[in-house]
Structure 1
Amino acid sequence: MSNAVLITREPVINKQHKITANRLIVHAASVSQAVEALDSLAEVWPSTHPVFISLYKLVPTPDLLNWIAPANAMVEIPTQSIAHPLTLTLIPQLLAANISLNLTWYQHDTVLPPNVQWRFLIVDAKRQHLPADPPGLSIAWGLTDVPDFRNAIAEGYDGASGWFFLRGVKTDGKLAPSHAQIVRLMNLVRRNAEVREIETVLKQDVALSYKLLRYINSAGFGLMCEIQSFRHAVTILGYEKLNKWLSVLLVSASRDPSAPALMQTAIARGRFMEKIGAAFFDKGELDNLFITGAFSLLHLLLGASLQSALEEMHLPTPIADALITGDGVYAPFLKLAKALESFDDKQLAQLAGELHISPDQVNRAHLEALSFADSLQFG
């Protein structure tokens, strides 16, 4: 896989703790290889939010002009290469092609080419404070945790890029009543309880009913008709699919300020596992793969330990094994999903190789999962 192209990512978070852009890090041996890989993913391209394209360690060259860039794509120009002749040649050509530019690793003393409008600036907040009068919207990078993010916003940053929101969350509590209600519904659905019995529980919380129907009818689900009621959902989908959508409801039940980004990440993990696992498992198990990925951040979303949250749900053994002990048949797929949230393409390549999954399959499932998670409205 030495010449393979692999794509990892990190989210861009706004002041309201929501993911408003996705930063794709393209690991390739050359710009032309990166372009070929990006072009091959046009049909699964995530279109809901802007997409930052980082070529990682490569100098952006005019080869990038061969890419048929989607309208929401933004190309990152690293400060270290901004004076390179090939980059200086490329910048006006990208602007002429209506491709937005972001400046990465901007510093106080960066000498910028004239007449260039930068949309976003990514600043290594570990090494310096926010520069005065930045020539674009400022994005902090390298934050450690959620308190770090709050400090960066207070300092004047417009947002941040990275996975800081996965750290610094207390998980000592137990399930809140609203969460427990959804778990109760999941247990009823899993044992095929009477529709009337499930409807009684749903009617106790109209907001839950509304959110459940909203998710089921979302564009990502691809239904041919609109689901009007829970009874209608049972008729069209069956209990197994409803169990999956109740898991989405549980993931989205947190009211923590950091929850929207966590929710989107959890759903992206689940959808990736569902997509990439389709060649390995029977169709009936794919919903379990989705639930495994979605529940991998449940302890952060619910503020309860994963063990206590899962004990209430009586999940199938492969799901519990993957989440609690990191073992079992689903565990390698969860590790692969987590490896997408990294700059480490070597680890990603190794995990994919152990499963005999090609880089193209990984990239395609990755972007499909991102598109799906972006299509749901969290918060």
Structure 2
Amino acid sequence: MLAWISRLLGLGTAKRQEAEAPNEPAAAQAATISPTPEAEPAPAAEGALLQQVLLDKQRRATGYLFSLQAGRTGQLADQSPRVRALLDDLLIARLLTLAPHWPAQRSAWIAIDDTSLAHGSLPRLAALRTVLHVQPAEPEQAAAPETVSRIRSLQREGIRIGLDAAPGAPWFESLAWLADVFLLDFHQAPATLQRYHAQLGGQFALIPRVATGVDTLDALDAAWKLGCSEAAGAFAQLRGNWQGNRIAPGPLRVAALLARIGSDTENREIAAALKQDMALSYRLLRFVNTASGGLQHTIGSIEQALVLLGREQLYRWLALLVCASAQRGEGDAMMETALVRARMLEVLADRVAPEARDDLFVTGLFSQLDMLLQVPMETALEPLALTPAVREALLGRRGPCADWLAVAEAGDNSDPVALLVACRKLGIPAMRAASARITALAWVHSLAAAPDTQAA
């Protein structure tokens, strides 16, 4: 169980979000989830923010790979130096907002053009345990003396430098002696990777390696054999063959309660069901008394807790418990991804489809429920009372919620074209999706960093 689950909801959350949302006319029906058309962003300012989780051999999250890529109308644009510089500036500015609650055990890997190494704010990124993934504007030319000087200056400030492994290339050879880590791109041919492995082992045996573009389990196995200590790629989203698996008793009991709330069961029946599960009743009372610290008396009964929370907050709390019931090492990384998606979609909906906010939060939260519980998605959703829009999105990526989920998933899957297409389909500027992702990640980190955190 994530230790900070009890802080994910507060009694003032719903009212606070309503106060923050602009006063826009509500859409006719929540099920349509029709976003208000947005003004077209300037092409140079349109960027697709990609964020992949970096995992170690135990599938524990160790960092994030961030990049902001230019594009328009679903096609990646040619990135002129001016556009690349603008995107690097936007990426740095957004990532700096994560610094206050950045987890001590995570690193931020930031893809940046070598022409942006002089950016004045880069030293401040040391708070994120940053590794700058420096990419050359001219890979066939040796790095300029000023590039070397800037890299050494940033390293003195606590910034680490990562280079794409390319032994023999002039730019790589001119900077390899300065690198803190090498990145092996597994989209390259296996023979090329084997050659790089041999060359790096001979010249730079002590410099760690990280694998990117690892899309299959075979590629992951190859990454470990080639000496990589961490890996990122589509392998983290692969589903197993879980046919025949059943939901464990713990999350199944929570799911049954969730279904009662979704089907408008009366509070007295919900309270009676809760009282049959002593552990869940204890968690609920502990949560309510922690979240309602301003009250002058302790909430001592389930009935009082239900009245104080309200059905919407109780639904969210139980939904979070269903996800958090995964007790595997990789479960925390998946849970974090699900929470970021949930909050990201909620933030995006605040301005353009506020009536759909709850559906979109649940869609993002349950988008990896099958992976968390290691059962088919149909099995995972069977005991839950979900709206048709949420169920369609999760089972078949169809319906009104599916378009929104596609925005979050494309950013996680390092697919800039799909992300830009999804944003255009909804009429949302890609940079708004980028801001929502950073806001969501900061929210999750702030919860984890809270000093008075207690287990749910």
TM-score, normalised relative to structure 2: 0.69
Distance 1:59 1:143 in 2: 25
TM-superposed CA distance for 1:196, in Å, is 3.4
Q: What's the CA shift for 1:229?
A: 7.6
Structure 1 segment 1-379 matched on structure 2, within 5 A: 2-3=43-44, 4-28=46-70, 29-39=83-93, 42-43=96-97, 47-48=102-103, 49-55=106-112, 58-67=113-122, 69-70=124-125, 71-72=127-128, 73-78=130-135, 80=139, 83-85=142-144, 87-96=147-156, 98-107=157-166, 111=173, 113=175, 116=178, 118=180, 120-125=181-186, 127=190, 128-129=193-194, 130=197, 131-132=200-201, 134-146=205-217, 148-149=219-220, 152-153=223-224, 156-172=227-243, 173-190=245-262, 191-194=265-268, 196-203=271-278, 205=279, 210=283, 231=302, 234-282=306-354, 285-375=356-446
- Alpha-carbon distance in structure 2 between the residues aligned to 1:340 and 1:214: 33
Which one is further off, 351-360 or 363-372?
Answer: 351-360
Query: Quick check: 269-278 or 222-231, which moved more?
Result: 222-231
SS at match of 1:294: helix
Q: 1:50 to 1:183 in 2, by over 3 A?
A: same
- What residue is the counterpart of 2:19 in the other structure? none
Contact kept? 1:61, 1:87, Cα under 8 Å: no
Q: State the 1:367 CA deviation.
A: 0.7
Can you give the 5+ residue segments of structure 1 that lack an aligned partner in the other structure?
none
Q: Deviations over 1:319-357 (max 9, x none)?
A: 112222323222211111112124433332232223222
Distance 1:83 1:214, change over 3 A: farther
Aligned residue type for 2:409: K
Shift in Å, 1:313: 1.0
CA separation of 1:354/1:123 partners in 2, compared to 1, >3 Å: closer, same or farther?
Answer: same
* CA 1:93–1:162: 2 relative to 1, 3 Å: same
CA distance change for structure 1 residues 81 and 198 in 2, over 3 Å: closer, same or farther?
farther
**Deviating more after overlay: 190-199 vs 307-316:** 190-199
1:30, distance to aligned residue in structure 2 (A)? 1.9
Deviations 1:281-332 (A, max 9, x none): 345x422211111111122222222223222112111111222232322221
- One-letter amino acid of the structure 2 residue matched with residue 347 of structure 1: A
TM-score (norm 1): 0.82
8 Å contact kept, 1:77–1:101: no
C-alpha distance after superposition, 1:187-243 (max 9, x if no partner): 23333533632432441x46x9559967997xxxx9876998884753543221221
RMSD of aligned Cα (Å): 3.5
Unaligned runs of 5+ in 2: 1-40, 71-82, 449-454
**2-side partners of 1:170 and 1:178: how far apart?**
22
1: CA distance between counterparts of 2:312 and 2:149?
A: 55
Query: CA offset at residue 171 of structure 1?
Result: 2.7
Q: Return closer, same or farther for 1:50/1:305 CA change in 2, 3 Å cut-off.
A: same
Identity between Structure 1 and Structure 2 (%)? 19
Residue 267 of structure 2 aligns to which amino acid in structure 1? A
User: Quick check: 1:146–1:164 contact (8 Å CA) kept in 2?
Assistant: yes
Q: Deviations along 1:247-302, whole A, 9 cap, x unmatched? A: 1221222244532322222221111111111123345x422211111111122222
Q: Hey, what's the Cα distance between the residues in 2 that align with 1:216 and 1:268?
A: 26
The CA distance in 1 between the partners of 2:289 and 2:122, in whole Å, is 35
Aligned length: 367
Letter of the aligned partner of 1:158 in structure 2? S
Partner of 2:75: none
